[in-house]
Amino acid sequence: MKKLLLICLAISMALTSQSQTKLIEKVTKTGDELVIPYEKYELANGLTLIIHEDHSDPLVHVDVTYHVGSAREELNKSGFAHFFEHMMFQGSDHVADEEHFKIVTESGGTLNGTTNRDRTNYFETVPSNQLETMLWLEADRMGFFLDAVTTKKFEVQRATVKNEKGQGVLNAPYGMWNEKTIAAVYPYGHPYSWSTIGLLEDLDRANLEDLKNFFLRWYGPNNASLTVGGDVDPKKVITLVEKYFGSIPRGPEVAKMKLDAPVIPADRYISHVDNNIRFPALMFTYPTVPNMHPDEAALDCLSEILGTGQSSYFFKKFVLTQKAIQASVFHPAAELSGEFTMFVLPYPGQTLADFETAMRQILDEFAKNGVSEDDLKKFKANQESNTINGLASVSGKVSQLSRYQYAFGNPNLIKKDLQRYLDITADDVMRVFNKYIYNKPGVILSYLPNAETAPAKPDNFEKPTSGVSAFPKTDYTGLNYKKPTNEPFDRSKRPVSGPSPLVKVPEFWETKFDNGIKVIGTKSNEIPTVAIQLTLVGGHKFDAADPKKSGLAQITASMMDESTQNYSAEAMQEELRKIGSSINIYANRTSTVVSINTLKKNLDKTLQLAEEKLLRPGFQQIDFDRVIKQQMEGIKASQQDPSAIAGQVFDRLLYGDEHIYSVPTSGIEETVANITLDDVKAFYNKYYSPNLGELVIVGDVDQKDILPKLGFLKSWPNKKVAIPTLPPAKPGDKTKIYLVDKPNAPQSQIRVGYMTDLKYDATGDYFKSYLMNYPLGGAFNSRINLNLREDKGWTYGAGAYFSSTEDPGPYQAYAGVLATATDSAVVEFMKEITDYREKGITDDELAFMRNSVGQRDARSYETPGQKAGFLRTIAHYNLDKSYVDQQTKIINTISKDEINKLAKKYLDDDSIYILVVGDGATNREKLEQLGYEVVELDAKGDVIDKNSIKVDK
C-alpha cells in the first residue's frame, strides 16, 4: 500500500508540475493573409513550445533551438558551440552512441543539426507516426546527456570537426575569407571576431570539463524553444511534450546579449594567400546593423542594387566588360551585428589596386545616380517571391517560426518581416548608403593565389592575438548537473510507433503534344506558385558528335540565358525580376533543362518571357565572347580545387578517353577553345527539338487552365532528333592507385570505384542494388561512414553509391580525409567493400534498411520540387505510378540471400580505381606500401610518370 501511495504521489507531483504549461498565444489564418498559424506555450521549466498544425502531408518536423551559438564562447576557446553540436549526436543515458541517426533514419526520417553565431538547432523530419519517438530522443539529450559523454567520443568528434574545417575551409577555394575578414572587422575578444567552426588551436585547447560546463550553462530548457509542425494534434503534442520535457530542471538564466556596433577608425588592409584558387579576390566589408534593425532592409536593398543581376553596378563594371569572372554584393545580418560585403574575382593579369579604385568609383556613381523606381520594384518582387517559396515545406515553416522565436521572442513576424521590405523608399536606401557605406572605413581583404601577386595595398592591420578583452566572460562556476527523478514512466523504453501513415502518391495527369513533347502535371495549391520544367533529353551526349568541341551543349545552354531577338540579356532579367520570376537554362550529361518558377499571379507574363528565351535566342557575339571566357577560366580554376580535380580525373579513369563522359560537361581547355558562335547556332538548330521534350508542371493551376497557355510549345516544329547511342566505357584493369599531387593539402580527396553494367530501372537489379548498398555506404549509419567518421574521426563524411541512367554508370565510394590518414583510409575502404561482398548483410542491417527505405515515401512528395522530380522520373522512364507499390513490395520481401548475391555480383574487389588527390610528398611512399601499382597523374588526369612504380602484391 505504501509503495502504491508513493507512485500515486509521484504521478500527482508530475501532473501538478506539467499542468503549469501556459498558453501564451494562438495565431490563426484567415483568407490569403501571409501568416503561419501556430499555438505557443511555455512549460513550468521555461521551455517554449510552438505547434504548427498542417495536415497536407503525413509528416512532422521537430526543431529544438537553443539560444546559444559561437557568440557565447570564450576567447581562445572558439568553435566550441559547433563542436558541442557534434557531441549531442553521440548518445545520452537512454540512447546509445550512434543510435540517434540510426533511429531517425530507420523511422523513414532525415535529421541534422546546425550552429551559427547566435543559436544551435537540432531537427528531424519524419512520418507523423514517429512524433513521440522524436520527442523522446530530443528530451533525452536535453535532460540526460552528460553521463554518456566519454573521453573517446570527445576525441573522435574533435577530430571530425577539425576534418570538417579542413574540407570546408582550409582545403576549399576562398575558404578562409570569412575568418580573416571578421577578425579584422570586430575588436579583440568580440564574440563575432572568430568563425563558428573555430580556430584549430582553440579546438585543441578544449577539454572534457569545458564541454560539460558548456552544456550546464546553456542547454537548459529555459534557453530553448521546441517547435513541432505538420500532421499533428496540438493537444497530443502538449501531452507528449509535458511527459518528456516537463520534468527536466530549469537551467541558469540567460540574459539577451547586446553589444555596441564595431567601429573601424580607418581602412584596414589585410591579405591572405590560398594556393587552391586561380582568381585573386578583392573584398570590401563594412560593419552594419543586426537582424530586424530599422536599417537592415534598406541595406539589403542597397546590396541587391549594387551587386545582383545584369543591371547591377558590379555586373556592368566588371563581368560585362570581361574584367572579372564574378562580382557581387551581399549583406548578412545576425543578432548582434551585420556585415556589408562587396567582392570581385578579377581575371588573372590585372592588379587589385586598379580594382580597388574601380570599386570606389562605383560607390561614387551610385551616390550621384541614386535609386530608381525599377530598382525598388525588382527588389520587392523578389522578397515577396522568396518569402512565399520558403513556405513550401513544413520544415520551412517551422524554421521560420523557430527563428523568429529565438531571436525576437515572437514567432508571428513573417508578415511584418516582409512588409518592412515592401515599405522601403529610395530615400531609405540612400540614407543607409551614406550612413554605413559611402566614404566609411572598412576592411579590404586581398585574397591571393600566390605570394607573388600584389595586394590592393600593403597590409596595415594585424589581428591581435593577446591582451585583455573588453568583453565580459561567462561565469561557469557553481554549475550542477540535475537529472529528472521519480518519473512515472521508464525513459529507457523507446516509444512504440503507431501504424505508418497512409502516403498518397500525387494524382497526376498526362498528355502528349503532336510535336512529341510528353506532358505530365499535378496540382499543388499549398502556396500560390507554379513550377514548370522542360527537359530536352540529350545534353552533353550530343557533344559526342564532335568530341573536339566538348562543352558545346553547356555553352549553348548558357547562351540561351543571354540576349534574345527582342530583349538584351539585361532587359530580360529585369523583366523577370520585376515579377519575382526566374527562367534558368542549363545542360548536364543527359539533358538540357529549362526551369521556370513564378508566383501564380505572374504566370502569363513569365510564360511570354519563356517563349522568347526558348524560341527566339539572340546569339550575340558580345555575349558569346564573355560566356566562353567565363567557361574557360572556370575550367582552369577547377584544376586547383581538390574536390573538382577528384571528380574530373575519376570520370576520366572510369570511362576512358574514347567516351564523352570522360570529359566534363563544361569541356576542357582544348575543346572549349575550338567552339565558335556558329557552332552554338548549329547546335541549337539541330538538337533543340520538341520530340526530345519532357514537360513537368507542378503548382496552383489545373490542367484545363495551363494547357491553353502553352501554345508556343505545341506549335514548336519537330526536328525528329535521335538520341545518340554511347559506346561502352573502358574495360576495367586490375586495381591500381592513382595519385594527383596537391602539395601541402591538409586533406586528401579519395575516390574508390569502377564501372558497372547496371542501367537505371525502378524495380530490377539497379533498384535492388541500391537497397543492397544502403547499409554499406548509403546511410549515415552505413559501415563506411561509421568506420571513417564516427570510429576513426578521419573525415567529415564518407559513403558509396551506384549512379546510372539509361546508360550504365559507376559504383563509387568517396571521402575527404585527414592527410595523415590517407593510406589507412584507402585500406579501410577496400576492407569494408570486400567484407560486405564476402560476408554479406546482417539481420540487423536488413531490418534497418527495410524500415528506413520503406518509410521514406512520407517525405517524397511534400514540396513542388519533390513532386516535380517524381513526375519527371515517370515521364522519362515511362513508368506507371504503381512502380512505387512494386518498390515497397521489394523492400519488404527481398531476402538476405538475394542481397548477398547482389553484393557478390555488383561489388567488385579486383578491378577498382583508387584515386587520391593529396600531398604527394607525404603520401606517395605510404601508398606504395599498400601493395598496389601507383600511377601518378596531373590535375587533368594525364600520366606524369610513364614508368609507374610497381610493387608486388
**Pairing between strand 736-741 and 933-937?**
parallel
pLDDT band, very low/low/confident/very high, at 5 (cuts 50, 70, 90): very low
Rg of the chain, C-alpha, whole Å: 29
Confidence of residue 20 (pLDDT cuts 50, 70, 90): confident
| Model confidence at 570: pLDDT above 80 | yes
DSSP 925: H
Domains of the chain, by residue range, sit at 2-245, 268-448, 509-714, 736-937
| Contact predicate 540/587, CB 8 Å | yes
Find the mean pLDDT for residues 218-242: 97
The answer to whether domain 2-245 has CATH 1.10.10.10 is no
**Per-residue pLDDT tens over the stretch 277-311:** 999 999 999 999 999 999 999 999 999 999 999 99
- Grid coordinates in use for 45? 521549466
User: What percentage of the chain has pLDDT greater than the value 70?
Assistant: 97
Q: Give start and end residues of each alpha helix (H) in 254-372.
A: 296-307, 313-314, 352-369
- Relative to beta strand 795-802, strand 518-523 is unpaired
* Domain 268-448 falls under CATH 3.40.30.10: no
**Right CATH for 736-937 from 3.30.830.10, 3.30.1360.10, 1.10.1040.10, 3.30.565.10:** 3.30.830.10
Tell me the residue ranges of DSSP E strands in 28-78. 38-42, 48-53, 59-66
C-alpha cell belonging to residue 661 = 563522359
DSSP assignment letter at 93: T
pTM of the model: 0.92
Q: Is the dihedral of CA 192, 197, 201, 205 positive or negative?
A: positive
Beta carbons of 278 and 640 less than 8 angstroms apart? yes
Q: What is the mean pLDDT of residues 270-275?
A: 94
Q: What would the mean pLDDT of 359-388 be, rounded to a whole number?
A: 96
The whole-number average pLDDT for the span 330-358 is 96
pLDDT of residue 106: 92
- Whether residue 9 is predicted with pLDDT greater than 50 in this model: the reply is no
Q: What are phi and psi of 877, to 5 degrees?
A: -100, 10
pLDDT value at 895 more than 80? yes
Amino acid letter, residue 764: G
Mean pLDDT of the chain: 93
* Interatomic CA distance for residues 289 and 898, integer angstroms: 61
What are 140's three cell numbers? 533525452
Q: What does the pLDDT read at residue 469?
A: 87
The percent of residues in the chain predicted with pLDDT above 90, rounded, is 86
Q: What is the DSSP string of 454-518?
A: PPSS--------SS--SSPPP--TT-------S-SS-TTSPPPP-PPPPPPPPP-EEEE-TTS-E
Question: Is 16 or 792 the better-scoring residue by pLDDT?
Answer: 792
In DSSP terms, 534 is beta-bridged to 594, 695
Q: What is the pLDDT of residue 858?
A: 83
How many residues comprise the chain?
953
pLDDT in tens, 389-417: 999 999 999 999 999 999 999 999 999 99
Which residues are registered as beta bridge partners of 533?
Answer: 595, 696
The yes-or-no verdict on residue 915 having pLDDT over 50 is yes
pLDDT at position 825: 97
Contact of 803 with 881, CB cutoff 8 Å: no
CA angle (570, 576, 581) in 5-degree steps: 145
Number of H helices, E strands in the chain: 33, 24
Q: Which cell is 473 given?
A: 566572460
| pLDDT (average), residues 455-482 | 90
pLDDT digits (tens, 9 = 90+) for 591-628: 999 999 999 999 999 999 999 999 999 999 999 999 99
Cell 570581385, residue located: 344
User: Pairing mode, if any, of strands 736-741 and 913-918?
Assistant: parallel
Q: Which residue bears the cell 513541432?
A: 228
Can you name the CATH fold of 509-714?
Answer: Cytochrome Bc1 Complex; Chain A, domain 1 (3.30.830)
Residues sharing a CB contact under 8 Å with residue 867, sequence separation 6 or more, in sequence order = 506, 522, 524, 698, 861
pLDDT score for 19: 54
Model pLDDT, residue 945: 66
